[in-house]
Amino acid sequence: MAGMTAPKGTFDILPPDSARFLAVRDTLTAPLRRAGYGYIEAPAFEATEVFSRGVGESTDVVTKEMYTFTDRGGRSLTLRPELTAGLMRAFIEHRLYDGALPVKLWSVGSAFRYERPQAGRYRHFTQVDCEALGVDDPALDAEVVALGVQGFRDLGLTDFELLLTSLGDATDRPAYREKLVAHLAKLDLDEETRQRAQINPLRVLDDKRPEVQAQLDDAPLMVDHLSDSTRAHYDAVRQHLTDLGVRWTEAPRLVRGLDYYTKTTFEFVHHGLGAQSAIGGGGRYDGLSAALGGPDLSGIGYAVGVDRTLLAVAAEGLDIGTTAAVQAFVVPLGAEAKRLAVRLVGQLREAGVAADTVYGDRGLKGAMKAADRSGASHVLVVGERDLAEGVGQLKDLRTGEQTAVPVADLFDTVRAAVGS
C-alpha cells in the first residue's frame, strides 16, 4: 500500500511545534476563565439542520462547505463548521436559560469546512469560542470584545486591529436591505453578482474586486440607517470599549460569513498574514436562539482561530511555548544504574519535576545527545564506577558545573537544583 497522508487541507500538529499550539490555545482561553465563563463541550457533529437553520441557508458555509453525511441510522449529520450553533442547541436543550442570566460559556475544539486550502485556510481547524447568552446589554458586548482583545495582547501580539460595526436588528435591517438591493440593481454587475445582490446583498458590499468596489462608493451603509435604539446600543458599546482601553476601527462594510449576526459585529484582523487576515470574529446574534427553536433570547460571542493566531504569533516573531518540557534528565550506564534511573525518574515525576531518561541501549554519546535535545537544565549521569562509589554525577548544563552527589541524596539534590 502506498504511504498514507493526511487528507487534503488538514495537517498534523507535531512536537515541538505543538507546544506553541497549546500555548496559544490556552492563552486565548485564559481571559475567559478569569472572567467567570464556564467550559462547555458539545459534540463535533450535530443534526444538519442545527447549522442550516443556525448559520443560514444562503451562506457559503452551508451551501458549499459543510461535511454532511448520512449515518447508519439514516440521520443527516454534519461536522460542525463553527461552534456557536451547536452550543446554542445545547443551551436550549438543557434549558440553561432557566438559571441566572447571562449564561457565559467558552469552548475550544475542531471545526470543519470544505474550503479551498491555502495558507491559513484549512479544512480542519481549531476555534476558541466565547458566548454570553440571554442578556441584551451593550456592556456585555464590550466585555466580550475586550476579552478577545485580551487574549491577543496576552500572547504579545501588537500588529492586529479590531474592526467594528453594527449590522442593525430585525426591525431596521429589512428596510435598509431594500434600499441596498435597489441601489445594487442600478450597478453594472456580472450575472453571478447580480444574483448574490438579490439573495445576500450585504455580501456584495464586501466584494474585493476593484471593478465592483469602484461602484460601491455611494452605496447605502447599515450604520447610517440604524433605528434610534440600535444606534443607542452601538454608541453605548463604543463608550464601554473606550472605558476598557480598547481601540477599534469603524468598518461599516464589514459583513460576516454567517447569517445570524445582528447589531454589534466585529472582526480581528492581523496585518502579517496576507489574504487570510481574519484571526477572529463575532457579534451579537439575537435571532439565533429562536431560529433553533429556543426562547427569544439574545446572545453575543466570538470565535478565534487558533491556527491563524499561531501564524500571527510566528509573523511577529514571538517566542511562546518554547520553554523546555524536561527539567532533569538521567543517564544510566549499566543495568544497576538503569534500575536506579527508572526509579528516580518516577519519584521526581511524582514530586512534580519534569524528568526523563533514555530507553534502549544508546551508549553514553547517544544518551548525552538525548539529554541535550530534551532541553533539560540538569543531567544526572550514573556510571558503573560512580555507583560502586555510591554517587551520581549531576551536571548543570547552563554553567557546566559538575558535582558528585551521594545516591541517597539524589532525589532531594536534583529537586532542589531544578528549583521544584
Residue with cell 474550503: 115
Residues in CB range of 225: below 8 A, 6 or more apart? 168, 172, 175, 176, 179
Is the CB of 286 or the CB of 307 nearer to ligand AMP?
307
Rounded least distance, CB 187 to ligand AMP, Å: 27
Residue with cell 437553520: 53
Is the CB of 21 or the CB of 125 nearer to ligand AMP?
125
Is the CB of 259 or the CB of 356 nearer to ligand AMP?
259
The cell for 311 is 501564524
Which of 113, 233, 238, 395 is the binder for ligand AMP (CB under 6 A)? 113
Residues that bind ligand AMP (rule: CB under 6 A) add up to a total of 18
Residues 63-102 as x/- pattern, contact with ligand AMP by CB under 6 A? -------------------x--------------------
Query: Nearest CA to 285 among 109, 128, 129, 85?
Result: 85
Q: CA angle at residue 252 from 163 to 134, to 5 degrees? A: 70
The Cα–Cα gap between 273 and 239 comes to 30
Residues 238-277 as x/- pattern, contact with ligand AMP by CB under 6 A? ------------------xxx-------------------
Sheet (strand 124-133) strand order: 38-39, 103-112, 124-133, 299-305, 278-284, 262-270, 160-166, 249-250
Is the CB of 27 or the CB of 127 nearer to ligand AMP?
127
Query: Nearest CA to 222 among 214, 213, 231?
Result: 231
Helices (H) and strands (E) in the chain, counts: 16, 16
Rounded least distance, CB 59 to ligand AMP, Å: 10
Q: Which residue is nearest to ligand AMP (CB)?
A: 305
Q: Between β-strands 328-332 and 378-382, what pairing exists: parallel, antiparallel or unpaired?
A: parallel
Is the CB of 32 or the CB of 189 nearer to ligand AMP?
32
User: What DSSP string runs through 303-354?
Assistant: EEEHHHHHHHHHHTT---S-S-S-SEEEEE-SHHHHHHHHHHHHHHHHTT--
Residues 274-313 as x/- pattern, contact with ligand AMP by CB under 6 A? ----xxxx---------------------x-x-xx-----
The Cα–Cα gap between 274 and 388 comes to 63
Is the CB of 240 or the CB of 270 nearer to ligand AMP?
270
Binding segment toward ligand AMP, per CB under 6 A, in 119-127, 150-158, 177-185, 327-335:
119-127
Is the CB of 262 or the CB of 327 nearer to ligand AMP?
262
Rounded least distance, CB 280 to ligand AMP, Å: 5
For residues 90 and 110, is the Cβ–Cβ distance under 8 A? no
Residues 120-139 as x/- pattern, contact with ligand AMP by CB under 6 A? -xx--x-x------------
Rounded least distance, CB 419 to ligand AMP, Å: 38
Sheet (strand 391-396) strand order: 355-357, 328-332, 378-382, 391-396, 402-406
Is the CB of 102 or the CB of 280 nearer to ligand AMP?
280
Task: Look at the alpha carbons of 109, 115, 118, 120 in this order and tell me if their dihedral is positive or negative.
Answer: negative
Widest CA span in the chain: 94
Interacting positions 174-233 with ligand AMP (CB under 6 A) = none
Residues 306-345 as x/- pattern, contact with ligand AMP by CB under 6 A? -xx-------------------------------------
Is the CB of 115 or the CB of 396 nearer to ligand AMP?
115
Residue 419 has a CB neighbour count (10 Å cut-off) of 8
Is the CB of 203 or the CB of 231 nearer to ligand AMP?
203
The Cα–Cα gap between 338 and 354 comes to 18
Is the CB of 14 or the CB of 275 nearer to ligand AMP?
275
Q: Which parts of this chain interact with ligand AMP (CB under 6 A)?
A: 82, 113, 115, 121-122, 125, 127, 256-258, 278-281, 303, 305, 307-308
